[in-house]
Structures are given as C-alpha cells and as structure tokens.
Chain A
Amino acid sequence: MSNTLSLSASRLDRLFRLLAGASAVLLPLVLVAFLIQLGWGAAPVWREFGPDFITGTGWDPVANEYGALPAIAGTIFTTALALLLAIPPAFVTALYLVDCPAGIGEVLSQALDLLAAIPSVIYGMWGLFILVPLMQDHVQPFLSETLGLGKIPCFGVDGNGFGLLTASLILALMILPYMSAVMRNVFKMTPGMLRESAYGIGCTRWETAKDIVMRYGIRGLLGGVFIGLGRALGETMAVLFVIGNVVEIPESLYGSTTTIAATLANNFAEADGIMRSVLFALGLILLLLALGVQVLAQYYLMMTGSKRGER
C-alpha cells in the first residue's frame, strides 16, 4: 500500500467519523431548536396576556380572548383517567405474560404489540363511529341509571357519548400495550434467584409479584407508567375524534372538553396573528410537559438498569 493511499484512507476515516458525529449531534440540536422555535413563536402571547394566559378560561377569537386553562385541565383529566384505567390491567397482564407457558405468552405478547401498532387515527375513527354511539345508548345510561352512579356529584347524568370518559377509555386502550411491554421487561430483569427464593419459602405467585418483583423493579414500573403518561399526554387524533372539542373545563365525566393536542389540531387551519402565537404557546406547554415526563421516565428506567450493573 503506497503512502499516499493510506493517507487518503485515514482522511476518509476521519471524514466518516466526522459525518457520523455530526449526525449524532444533530439530534440534540433538533431538540433545542424545538424549544427555541416554539418559545419564540409563543413570545407575543406572553407579551400580550402575561401569566394570565395559563390561568385564563375564556376562548373567544372574535374578542381576542384566549385562556389555556380548559385545554390544560382537559389534558390532565383525560390523561389521569386513562392512567387510572390502564395501570392495573397493564400490571397484571405483564405479570401473567412473564410466567405463563412460553407459547401462549409469545402469541399474546405479539397481539399486544400489534394493538400498539394500530395507527391512532384508526382508534379515533373506531371511537367515533362505534364507541361513541355505544357509550351514548348503553354504557352511560347503564352507569348512571341502572347502577345509580349518576347521583355521585361530577359523575354525569345525560351523556351524548362524546367527552372525557370516552376519550380516556380509548387512551387507556392505546397506552396499555406500551406500559405492559415496559413492565414485562422490568419483571424479566428481576434476578431469577430472588423469585425462586420467594417461591421456595412458600410465597404464592401473587405474593412474589407484589412483595419481591414489584419492590425490586418499582422504579422501572414507574418508568413504564411515565412512558404511558407521555403517550396519553400528546395523543392527538384518537382524542380529537371523541372529546367533543368544546373549550370548557369539564363539569362531569361525560362532559365535552378539549386537550392541548386536540386544540392545536382543531384550530391551526384558521390560525393567524395572535391566535397562531396562542397555538405555539399551547404547543410549548405540551412540549415541556411531555419532555418533563420523558426525563422522569428515562431516569427511573435507568435506575432499574443500573441496579443490575447494566447501563
């Protein structure tokens, strides 16, 4: 090999390394660009409304009145309710899938993965045409009248099928496979010795899960919950179809409301001037919420990994 050739080869090598490094660095730069761009786009809102924007409840484009509180409240309510509905089944399904016969576990895990792969717009469409009429005609009357839950304040009496409860149901179905998958991995991480020891001293499967596996992997489980939380927070289409899209803080479980993501998708078309800035401000709030949740999720998942000496 001649000297010049090897020189050019090493130069090529350096070029490759540089290119790869630049591509890798591009990613955090994009993340920073998101924050700068949305912050800059939202600046007019802070100038015009100040912190009142976050606590304001009005939404009247004609009167130039905008408040973010209903959208924020709607986002938090739908997400919280979806988590409440999805965490227990995600936990027990993961528990079951970890130590059931290999063949069944394989098939069911794949089925759950496929459930996660269905595009959100399909969930939305199914929700709109199938679940909403079902909720209106059967589920809501059943809950409120037959079971008498309607007497509980804030539960809701007459529902039109749309609203908080329906949106949360769909969200719960969407995030269940994600949380279940993360929890499954956490359960698998528990050293076999620990579980075997628990069985050895006569613990039942549930006791082992509750007292050994759950305690060992509690941070990982929290990480899984935060992954689900992040998805529910930012989900747009499935919610948009069934939430009712009214800028109001919901008064009951059946109340129509909106979320930040749904507000963005619903209003961008006619957005101009200050309204566009309002949407950027809402986007920024959503981004910060989602990033915060993700940072926590990663932190907890990393803690579980490092406990095992992994990274």
Chain B
Amino acid sequence: MTSIAPVKRRGLFRRKLLDRVVRALSVLALTVAVAAMVWILYTVIRRGVAVISWDFLTECSKPYGAMNSGIANALLGTLAITFGAALLGIPPAILGGIWLAEFGKGTKLGDTIRFSANVMMGMPSVVVGLFVYAVLVVPCGGFSGFAGSVALAILMFPVVMRTTEDMLLMVPDALRESALALGASRARASLQIICRSARSGLITGILLAVARVSGETAPLLFTALWSDSWPKNYFEGPTANLPVLITEYSTNSPFDEQHAAGWGAALVVTAMVLLLNIATRIIFKEKHHER
C-alpha cells in the first residue's frame, strides 16, 4: 500500500462511460429486485383475494378433495404457536441481552456469547426443526404445537438477545450512572431506567423477530406438523398452522380448490408478516425522530 502504482492513462470519455454503465446497471438491478417483489406480492394478493371470504377465515379446513375448505384452524394454530414461542423465547433473550450489555461488556465470556449468538442467527431453520424433533417430539411420542413453539423460540432467542444488547448500548452511560448514583441497584437501574428508555428499540426487535418466525415453515414440518382439525391440545397431537398448510396444499394436493386455498393462506401469512414489519419500522422511526 505504500508504493504508488504507476498511473495508467485512460481516456476521460471511457472512464465516464464506464461510470455511466455501472450506474445504469445499478438502477437495472434495483429495478429487477423491486419488480420481483411487486410481482410476488401482486400474485399473492390477486390469487388470495379471490378465495378469501368470511367463511374461508372462520371454517375449519376439510380433508383432501372436499369443497369449501377454510383455514380458521390453521390461523388459530399459527397464532398459538407463535404466541407460545414469544412467551418461551423472549424473557431469557431479553435477560441475556441485558447481561451482555450491562455486565458482559469486554469480558471473554461476553465476547464468546455474542459470537455464538451471531453464529446461531445464521443457523438453518430446518436444523432447528430436526433438533427439536429429536429432543422433544421423539421422547414425547408425537408432534405438538408446543414443540413448534420451542423450535420458533430457539430461532428468536439469538435475534432478540442481540437487538436487546444493541439497543441497551445506545442508552447513554450518563443515565446508567445517574441511576446508580441515586442508590438504585443494578437490577433496578437495568429494568426500570435503562430498559425503559430503550423501550421502543426493544419492542421493535421483538416484533421483527416475531414477524420473522411467524412465516417459518421448515421447523414446523418437524414439530407441529399439520392437521385438518381444530387444535385441541397445545401439548399433544399435530397442530394445524398456516405455513405447513400452504406447503401441503400446494405440493401434495392435485386439487385446484386446495391450490386456491393455499393462495388464500399465503395472503394471510404475507399480510401478517409485512404489516408487522411495516408497523415496527414506523414505530421505531417516530420514536427516533422525537429524540
């Protein structure tokens, strides 16, 4: 880097032309990406709206080949599994994030945990499903909604932990020190002062993690599986859920009726995930502009 490379003479015209070409390629690439997104969303909305009706959203799904199948049981199952995952995964994730930000800064253990969390965020979700299948489904003798929640909770754990840490680190140290100087314990300072001032960031992280896992399919194939009846017992028996219903209907069914129902379910899932995403972005942004 110390020696200066001999200057290659290039014509100004060619250099400018190359710059323009790259610029055009950038715009082209962006257009293709955005167009693909619009195309996917358009397809889902057009085909989904065609089948969505009050009955579709409130009726239980029917066995293969039957007409007028609904998705209410799968919708209920998805909500239960996701809610259960949030209950299981978020408290330890937040606590772990607090530990990383407040106690684990600059320690070897803290670095190790942070590194593991980053690595774990890139773990294939299908492997998580396989793991929960081995430790929960096989010993308990069957698929269950609870197993699905555990799998999703494992996926949420590192994400929420890292966002919690990042958000807490953004809180100015002066606030931390003031609380401690007033005689607050570390626990009190963390929970009542620091977490409170980072609240909007924490909520954003949680909601984004929930949005991400609520569309996850692969881990549910191994844990909650799917059924065409109402979910009866959270801890026992295959539980209906939207993502696996979409998979079943679009790959394992020869009936056009069910393909259509799959599009309806796809629209519901996509709308759920994207609305959560957009809402959190808006919340976070407003909070940030206030400061």
Which residues of A are in contact with B by a Cβ distance under 8 Å? 9-10, 12-13, 15-17, 19-21, 23-28, 30-31, 33-34, 37-38, 41, 88-89, 92-93, 95-97, 108, 110-115, 117-126, 128-130, 173, 176-177, 204-207, 209, 227, 230-231, 233-237, 240-241, 261, 264-265, 268, 279-280, 283, 286-287, 290-291, 293-295, 297-298
Whether B152 is near chain A, meaning CB under 8 Å from some CB there, is no
- The reply to whether A261 and B131 contact each other, CB–CB distance below 8 Å, is no
Most A Cβ at <10 Å: residue of B120, B158, B214, B281: B120
The answer, among A30, A92, A280, for a CB contact under 8 Å with B22, is: A92
Residue of A9, A20, A88, A237 most packed against chain B (CB within 10 A): A20
> A180 — nearest CB in chain B belongs to which residue?
B33
Tell me the residues in window 95-144 of chain B with beta carbons closer than 8 Å to chain A beta carbons: 95-100, 102-104, 109-110, 112-113, 115-127, 129-131, 133-135
Binding site secondary structure of chain A: helix
Which chain B residues border A28 with CB–CB below 8 Å?
A: 112-113, 116
Shortest 8 CB-CB distances between A and B: which pairs? A234-B124, A119-B215, A16-B187, A89-B29, A96-B26, A20-B99, A24-B96, A23-B95
| Option from A21, A110, A204, A231 in Cβ contact (under 8 Å) with B281 | A110
State whether A10 touches B185 (Cβ < 8 A). Answer: yes
Contact B99 A21 (CB under 8 A): yes
User: 20 A-B pairs, CB-CB below 8 angstroms?
Assistant: A20-B102, A24-B104, A33-B135, A88-B25, A93-B29, A96-B23, A113-B281, A117-B212, A117-B274, A118-B273, A122-B270, A125-B250, A128-B250, A204-B16, A235-B124, A268-B130, A268-B133, A286-B126, A291-B119, A298-B118
In Å, the complex CA distance between A19 and B120 comes to 21
Known: A92-B26, A177-B33, A237-B247. Is A119-B270 also a contact (CB below 8 A)?
yes
The verdict on A286 contacting B269 (CB below 8 Å), with A125-B246, A241-B250 known, is: no
5 additional contacts, CB 8 Å, given A13-B187, A24-B96, A231-B122? Answer: A93-B33, A117-B273, A117-B274, A119-B217, A120-B217
Q: Which of B15, B23, B115, B126 meets A207, CB within 8 Å?
A: B15
Is residue B27 within 8 Å, beta carbon to beta carbon, of the partner chain? yes
Complex Cα spacing A115 to B37, Å? 6
Which residues of chain B are within 8 angstroms of A24 by Cβ–Cβ distance?
95-97, 99-100, 104, 110, 113, 161
In the assembled complex, the CB of B218 is this many whole angstroms from the nearest CB of chain A, namely: 4
With contacts A30-B120, A117-B273, A237-B217 taken as known, whether A17 is within 8 angstroms of B30 at the C-beta atoms is no
Residues A295 and B119 in contact in the complex (CB < 8 Å), given A261-B218, A280-B134:
yes
Q: Do most interface residues of chain B lie in helix, strand or loop, or is the interface mixed?
A: helix
Q: How far is the CA of A177 from the CA of B221 in the complex (A)?
A: 26
A118 and B130 in contact (CB under 8 A), knowing A23-B96, A25-B113? no
B206 CB-CB contact with A under 8 Å:
no
Is B36 interfacial (CB 8 A cutoff)? yes
What sequence of 0s and 1s flags, for each residue 192-236 of chain B, a beta carbon within 8 Å of any chain A beta carbon?
A: 000000000000000000011011111001100000000000000
Q: For residue A130, which residues in chain B have a CB less than 8 angstroms away from its CB?
A: 39, 43
Answer yes or no: B19 CB below 8 A from chain A CBs: yes
Residues of A within 8 A of B278 (CB): 114
The answer, yes or no, to whether B287 is at the interface (CB within 8 Å) is: no
List, in ascending order, chain B residues with CB within 8 A of A240's CB: 247, 251
Which residue of B is nearest A117, CB measured? B277
Q: Is the CB of A204 within 8 A of B270?
A: no
In the complex, A205→B217 CA distance in Å? 42
A112 CA / B38 CA spacing, docked (Å): 11
The yes or no answer to B283 lying at the interface (CB within 8 A) is: no
* A123 surroundings in chain B (CB, below 8 A): 40
Inter-subunit contact B122/A230 (CB<8 Å): yes
A16 to B273, CA, bound (A): 34
Q: B126 and A206: CB pair below 8 A?
A: no
CB-CB < 8 A to B270: which residues of A? Answer: 118-119, 122
Which of the residues A93, A113, A122, A268 comes within 8 Å of B215, measured between beta carbons? A122
